[in-house]
Amino acid sequence: MLPYRLLAFLPLLRRIRRFMHDPVGTQERVLRRLLQRAAHTEWGQRYGFAELARARDVVRAYQERVPLHTYADLRADVERMRQGMTDICWPGRIRYFAVSSGTASSGTLLPVSREMLWANRRFSLSVGLHYLIQSQRGAFLRGRHLSLPGRVDEDAQHPGTWVGEISALVFLHAPWYLRWGYQAVPEQLLQHPNWEAKLRAIAARAVTQDVRLVVMAPTWALVLFSMLLEEARRQGRPATTIGALWPHLQVFISGGVALSSYRTLIEEYVGLPTLDFVETYGASEGFFAFQSSNDDPALLLHLDNGIFYEFVPIDALHTTNPPRHTVATLEPGVRYALYVTTCSGLWSYSVRDVVRFTQTRPPKLLVAGRTSEMLDLYGEAVFGEEAQAALEEACRQTQARVRTYHIAPKPATRNQPPTHQWLIEFEHPPQQLADFARCIDTYLQRVNRHYQIRREAGAFALPEVVALPPGAFYSWLRQHRSRLSGQTKVPRMQPDRSLADALLAQSQRWATSAETFPNSSA
C-alpha cells in the first residue's frame, strides 16, 4: 500500500503500464505529437511535419521523408539557437544546452527544451516510484539522498542561455522537496567549479549524513567512496566499508556507464548485503530506459517520455539506405544503432550507442557499446559489449577486481602477429596476468567467430594484459580533460594507440621517479 502522500505520483506508473500494454501504439502517438508540436518550426516547414502528422501511417510517412541525422546536420542550427533565434527545430527559444562531449566552445552541444526537462524529471521520479513498488522497501525515504551532478553555467558568449552537463540541468529542475528535503549536501557545494575539490568537499559533508540512496556513475562512486573512507579516518572515526558510515544505505541508482563491470566492487566497498541496485540508461539526448526488475539486468525502454525511437542494424549502418526499425519490428539479439526523435527538436538523431534487445514485448535492452566502440583492424570485429563481458568472466575465474580499463590494437612485429593490448587498473589483481589474458582469449573465441578464426589460424596473438598503477586513469583525465564532471569517461577502446601510449608513458615516468600519483581512478 502506497503512503498517502505518494498517491499523486500514480499517473507515472499508469504511463508505464500503458506503454507496456501497447508499445507500438504508444510510440506512434508520441511521434504524431512531436510532429504536431514542431509543425511551424524551420525544420517542420522543411519536411512538412503538419502533413506527416495527419498521415494514417505516421511512422512510414515520417521515415520516407525525414533522413537520419548526425550532429554535423545540427551544429549550425545549435549556434543560431544559442544566439537567441527561435522556432528552429523546436517551438520557442531554447535556453538550455547539454554538453555531450568536449567543451562549450568546441564540443557537442545539444538543445534541451523545457518539455525535455519535464520529461527527464518524470523519468527520474518514475524510476524511484517503480523501485518502491517493486521492492516494498520505503526506508530510503526516511534519510538523505546523494547525487553527483555536473555543473551548469550561463553561456559567456550568449547571455540568457545556460550550458552544462545534463545531470546538472536535471538536478536544477528537480522538485523542490527533493532538492531541499533529501539532498545530503548543499546545492552550492554541488556547483563547485573544481571537480576534485568538489568531491572532497562532498565527502567531508556527507560522511556524517544518514545517506540511504545514492545516484551516480559507478566509476565516480568508487572515487567518492575512497575519499569518504579517507575523510572518516581524518575525522577520527575510521571505517573499512561505506556501510559502516551509512548503515541504512538501501539503494544505488546507477547511470553513465554499464553497472555490471563495477557492481561487485561497489558491493565490497559498501559491505551491506541488503544493498539494492537500479541501473538506468540516459544521455544528453534524453533518458531512455531503466531496470524494472531486480532479477533481470535488461532495461525497460520507456516509450512515453517525449522520445520516438528508431533502430538501425549495426551491420547496415553505413549503407546508402539502411533499414530503420521501430519497436514494431525489433528482433532480439540483433545489435542496433540508436536514433531518437525528441521533444528538444532532435529528429532521427544518432545517439552513437549500440543496443541489443533481450525481449520485445515489452522491449528490454542492454547497451552493447558505442557505434565507434569496436576493434576490427585485423578482421577480429570485437565489440565493446564482448570485451566487457570477457573482462567480467576473467575476473570471475581469477578472483580479480577491475576499476577501469582501455583496449588498443598492438601491431604485428617480426616475431609476433597483431593482438590487443589491455591496459587495466586493478582493485585486486590476479595472481598471474597470463592467466587473466587466457581467460579473456577463451571467452572471446567462444562468443566471436571472427576472433576465433584468426586465433586458430595464428593470425592473431594472445591478448597482452598490462597492469597500470593505481590512479593512472584518473591522472590522465586530469591532465587531458579541461573540465572533469560526472559524465567524463575514459574511452574503453580505440582503433589507435594515442591513449594507450600516453598511459604507458605516464606509468613509466612514475616507475622511474619519486613522483606520487593519486590513489583513485575514474
Residue pLDDT, tens place only, 272-298: 999 999 999 999 999 999 999 988 999
pLDDT at 327 over 90: yes
H/E element holding 50? Answer: helix 49-54
pLDDT at 485 over 70: no
Estimate the crossing angle of helix 195-206 against helix 218-234, to 10 degrees.
60
Q: How confident is the model at residue 517 (pLDDT cuts 50, 70, 90)?
A: very low
pTM above 0.75, yes or no: yes
pLDDT at 497 over 70: yes
Residue pLDDT, tens place only, 332-346: 999 999 999 999 999
Residue pLDDT, tens place only, 373-387: 778 888 788 888 889
Candidate from 139-153, 331-345, 423-437 with smallest mean pLDDT: 139-153
pLDDT at 106 over 70: no
pLDDT at 253 over 90: yes
H/E element holding 233? Answer: helix 218-234
Task: Answer whether the bond into residue 362 is a cis peptide, omega within 30°.
Answer: yes
Q: What percent of the chain has pLDDT over 70?
A: 93
Residue pLDDT, tens place only, 168-184: 888 888 877 777 778 88
Question: What does the pLDDT read at residue 167?
Answer: 86
Residues 126-139, mean pLDDT to the nearest whole number: 92
Contacts of 118 by beta carbon, 8 Å cutoff, 6+ apart: 173
The grid cell for 359 is 525481449
CATH number of 1-371: 3.40.50.12780
- Report helix, strand or coil for 146: strand
Residue pLDDT, tens place only, 55-82: 999 999 999 999 999 999 999 999 999 9
Contacts of 223 by beta carbon, 8 Å cutoff, 6+ apart: 199, 474, 520, 521, 522
CB 15 within 8 A of CB 126: yes
